[in-house]
């Protein structure tokens, strides 16, 4: 029987699975909402994709803080138990990593065809690199040099407090504060965050609009048929630029800052034309410092699996 490593990238909305033997198998997408638990989703995948294959190990990227063998997801009701997976499927060992930890490991494997530069800047070879990305939540991590090679610093930077940069943003954040209490970066810079921005802008401007999902907001903004949607996407991109600049300063990310996640790549040229890069650099006395740091959007469709394979290789070693 062929032995394999089960790889998974599990977010708040979608869970993606693949088997790694001497090569990476097909990646299958499952909707989190359709399964009571991660164990049920794993069972469904293995029944469909693994006849004649035994998963002897698992490397799972999860959209939550990883502080042991039990992980509670931030944006879904799922709880993942490494011991439960070992017992249920005969897996010898289970490695849990934060989802953006996996994306950060993938930075070493990306080629020029996998990224779309935004703005200028020149990477310092071997310099720290940072990645952040809005999806169901907002992930942040960094790849930094170490004496034995690069190491990844996973973070929960998506839950740091959101800072308003303009008076209009301050008014929007005030609306969000009344709704949520603490306003984290993720409350505005994520799929649900885009929806919250849309509602808050309408409230501040005194406009009655229907509640819209993030995909619809992005589509209508691109079509130019909804001014509130257009303003929401514009503010989303600007705020993301401010947070990306903060992350660059925190990690001295002279090797570059990369934007991942499911939202930004779909914005295409509109993202490049947004205030993202200007706000990335708008850090007062450190504007020139940030102007030298390149930024890019990751366009590789399965970037987390590049990182999962890197983690699996380190575990095997």
Q: Of 174 and 63, which is predicted with more confidence?
A: 174
Mean residue pLDDT across the chain: 93
Question: Helices H, strands E: what count in the chain?
Answer: 13, 13
Per-residue pLDDT tens over the stretch 135-172: 989 999 999 998 988 999 999 999 999 999 999 999 99
Give the pLDDT mean for 180-186: 97
Confidence of residue 120 (pLDDT cuts 50, 70, 90): very high
Per-residue pLDDT tens over the stretch 260-312: 988 999 898 899 999 999 999 999 999 999 999 999 999 998 999 999 999 99
User: Are the C-beta atoms of residues 190 and 232 closer than 8 Å to each other?
Assistant: no
Query: What beta strand segments (E) does 42-113 contain?
Result: 53-62, 70-72, 79-81, 93-98
Alpha-carbon span 185 to 160, nearest angstrom:
6
Burial (CB count within 10 angstroms: exposed 0-12, middle 13-18, buried 19+), residue 68: exposed
Nearest to 121, CA basis, from 295, 294, 296, 297: 294
Alpha-carbon span 223 to 280, nearest angstrom:
26
Alpha-carbon span 62 to 85, nearest angstrom:
14
* Residue 211 token pair: 């509640």
Per-residue pLDDT tens over the stretch 223-234: 999 999 999 999
Alpha-carbon span 261 to 137, nearest angstrom:
9
The pTM assigned to this predicted structure is: 0.92
């Amino acid at each position: 029987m062929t032995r394999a490593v089960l790889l998974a990238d599990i977010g708040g909305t979608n869970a993606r699975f693949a088997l790694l033997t001497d090569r990476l198998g097909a990646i299958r997408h499952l909707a989190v909402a359709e399964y009571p638990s991660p164990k049920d989703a794993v069972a469904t995948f293995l029944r469909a994709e693994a006849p004649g294959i035994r998963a002897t190990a698992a490397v799972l990227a999860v959209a939550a803080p990883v502080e042991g063998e039990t992980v509670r997801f931030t944006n879904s009701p799922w709880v993942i138990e490494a011991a439960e997976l070992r017992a249920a499927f005969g897996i010898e060992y289970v490695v849990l990593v934060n989802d953006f930890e996996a994306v950060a490991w993938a930075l070493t494997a990306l080629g020029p065809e996998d990224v779309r530069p935004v703005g200028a800047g020149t990477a310092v070879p071997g310099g720290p690199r940072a990645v952040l990305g809005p999806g169901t939540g907002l992930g942040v991590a960094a790849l930094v040099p170490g004496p034995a090679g690069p190491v990844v610093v996973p973070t929960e930077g998506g839950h740091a407090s959101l800072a308003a940069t303009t008076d209009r943003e301050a008014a929007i954040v005030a609306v969000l504060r009344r709704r949520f209490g603490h306003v984290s970066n993720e409350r505005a810079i994520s799929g649900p965050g885009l929806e919250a921005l849309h509602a808050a802008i309408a409230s501040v401007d005194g406009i009655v609009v229907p509640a819209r999902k993030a995909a619809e907001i992005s589509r209508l903004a691109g079509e130019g048929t909804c001014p509130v949607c257009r303003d929401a996407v514009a503010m989303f991109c600007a705020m993301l630029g401010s947070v990306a600049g903060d992350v660059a300063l925190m990690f001295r990310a002279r090797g570059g800052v990369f934007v991942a996640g499911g939202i930004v790549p779909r914005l295409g040229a509109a993202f490049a034309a947004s205030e993202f890069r200007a706000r990335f650099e708008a850090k007062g006395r450190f504007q020139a410092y940030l102007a030298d740091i390149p930024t890019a959007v990751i366009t590789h469709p399965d970037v987390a699996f590049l990182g999962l394979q890197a983690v699996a290789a380190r575990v095997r070693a």
